[in-house]
Structure 1
Amino acid sequence: MKVWADRLISNGSVTRGVLFDADPNGRVLTNQTGVVPPPDALQLGVAVPGFANAHSHAFHRALRGRTHTAGNFWTWRETMYNAASRLTPQNYERLATAVFTEMVSAGWTTVGEFHYVHHRTDGTPYRSHDMERAIATAARGAGIRLVLLDTCYLAGGIGAPLSPEQERFGDGSASRWLDRWFSLRDALQDAGPTVTLGAAVHSVRAVPPEGMRTIAENLPVDVPLHVHLSEQVIENEQTHTVYGQTPTQVLADAGLLAPRLTVVHATHLGGSDISMLGVAGVGAVFCPTTEADLGDGIGPGRELADAGVRLAVGSDQNAVIDPWLELRGLEAGERLHSHERGRFSPAELLALGAASGYSTLGLPAPAEPGGFLDLVEVTEASERSAGTRWEELAMTATAADVTRTVVGGVSVDVDRPALAAELRSSIAELWGEIID
């Protein structure tokens, strides 16, 4: 398959007439520059490499526009648990298909779905990984690349049992989670080339150190592993009270700090934490629109990058689905924190949204030989981007400017009015509402 871009914005420059040739699985074989489009190629105007949504909880999309009046992360979480309690494989497949389609329409070409709603509400397993299969089916239906980050979730807090609302998240022990993970890997063998299985430890709050060590020792070394880290100040305080350490040090002592690890949020870190993460060469996913919406704080993005951490972005609770706004949110947070502009250049932002994001999900850089032919076309006729130097597009474009999303060399076409109707209907179904 062939895709041609009149202009490709990548690696800090604009290249004219780029022709990609890909194999049947959508991996780039060659790319040529300065060529005219052949008649059998999909033709694009201005394009950038595809964006990786490195951290998503798809069902949180059902909370958008329903939790914004007051409170904090902990009060928001109660409504989230209510939504989680309503999920079935059937309604989750429908909702996730709509949410993943919204992501594709915004320019996300890959999603890392941080998934912990595994079982029935009483904690008993489904017959055959029904929830996980529903998510994989939803991603294929939406046309997005999926890395399913199946999540170990064992405790309701440090030293606390799971609450009734959390029963369906748990597997009882890290060993039992591993057994289910290996079984799930076998079950997804027929899911196709756009679906792969990763893993996650929910947090220091939800998995004790001995469970982390079991996972570090037994999860295959080539599997990407994610973890929520220091999202809330109270997590740091509780961890210090119980373990006398920071959450980062707990991860280190459990053997989890390694290049395959990606920490999510990483908002409240000390200098020693940043140093440890950098030396280990981990990834870090910032979710600026979520961290702002929940009042979490501003993480040390520049300090982490300078220490050697690979930064990426994600949509997390999906209150906003727009890679461009996540990237600008990262830079905006840096400006607010430092009182300086240009903490990340536009080229750096595009790279961390694409190549770095893919790296945190265990995938090669998109739109490069050996990587997937994942591209995002952006209109030249927008009032937002009019007058922009293409090298600075990351500072002006939004999801509304995305005209075509290409995943594995295939154009994913989205009927936006139909998508809006399906989102409204599937969310109403989840909450048991009647659409008037």
Structure 2
Amino acid sequence: MLRIGLTGGMGAGKSTVARALAEHGAVIIDSDLIAREVVAPGTPGLAALVEAFGADILAADGSLDRPALAAKAFRDDESRATLNSITHPLVGQRTAELLAAAAPDAIVVQDVPLLVENNMAPFVNLVLVVDAATETRLRRLVEFRGVAEDDARARIAAQATDEQRYAAADVLLDNNGAAGAVAAEVARLWEQRLVPFEANMRAGIAVRPEFALVEARPEWAAQAQRLIARLRVAAGAAAVRVDHIGATAVPGLPAPDVLELQVTVADQAAADGIREALAGAGFPQLPRSAGEAAPGAGTADTKQQVHGTADPGRPVVVYLRVAGSPDQEFALACRDWLRAEEPARVEYADMVRAAAKKAEGVGGDDAWAEFTVVRESWLSATSQQVRDWRAEHPEHNAAP
């Protein structure tokens, strides 16, 4: 199934987006709702809260007085940690049960207010962040939920910052506008990205974008880091390291808008062993011919495993390479050389623009092939220069 993480600050409008996704057919797993279930009267969760925070967190009917609990639990970091240590395992157990019950072809949306704070982003296929200005969120909390302003400000301050959420966001949904505006944005996202993503994952199909050279984009680095985190989770202990490689890893260089990532493993058996895990995480294997036509970053090892992505919104090529193999070492060395040497970057930029011109008017994999022939020829011609540079700069050998 496709697992989507939905989050945003208090008052941003997660519930509005969740309802819109549900109307399109998503299975919603609401962490707030689950959090209420696991501390309902008579549950072990409620008993544990009373033991930790006192009987005065109970209402007259024996249910949890949530404002009374919040007044105690959000007063300092230690109290909040105590609350989380009680509720999070219970919420996790119930969430696992609901995931197990979902259909194999479901698009499951996990509405998790603390997704960023709890570092859950690498465990889902895509993160949607609902965004609204702080003052807008405060007004909604005070006017529509009846939260005291001081309490609302304290809760917002205790959550992740906007910058932290932006760093985790694969998709940022702007909910500052008029009611209903975000619903149209959700509809486009559902049709153009989520439905194809799920279908591609289920069929094991990797996205094959049309070739196009673009100028450097500042978001490439953050996008790569999000994907690296997911690859680390999927590969587990088999991954010695995971790196952003190729031109998109070098600030300022033009490149096709396809991120290149390299998973380094100890041996070929380790690479073979994580093939299915990567596919299950949304990174299906590419046929050998497709890998050769995609952007490359090496010297053509006789055997390498190449994966793509099922996500139509963020094309990527993932190389699985054995530590110490020619391609594995060259990919890192070439990236570091280009980062460090301006003349090399200028020469590379001129080369890829010429390669892109050669690919003009050619469609599909043929365009990638035309581009790749020129680029791989240049990389081969500079390979000795790159190796010499790396030998002179051993400090780069362990660089991320």
Identify the structure with the greater helix proportion: 2
Identify the structure with the greater strand proportion: 1
Taking structure 2 as the reference length, the TM-score comes to 0.26
Taking structure 1 as the reference length, the TM-score comes to 0.25
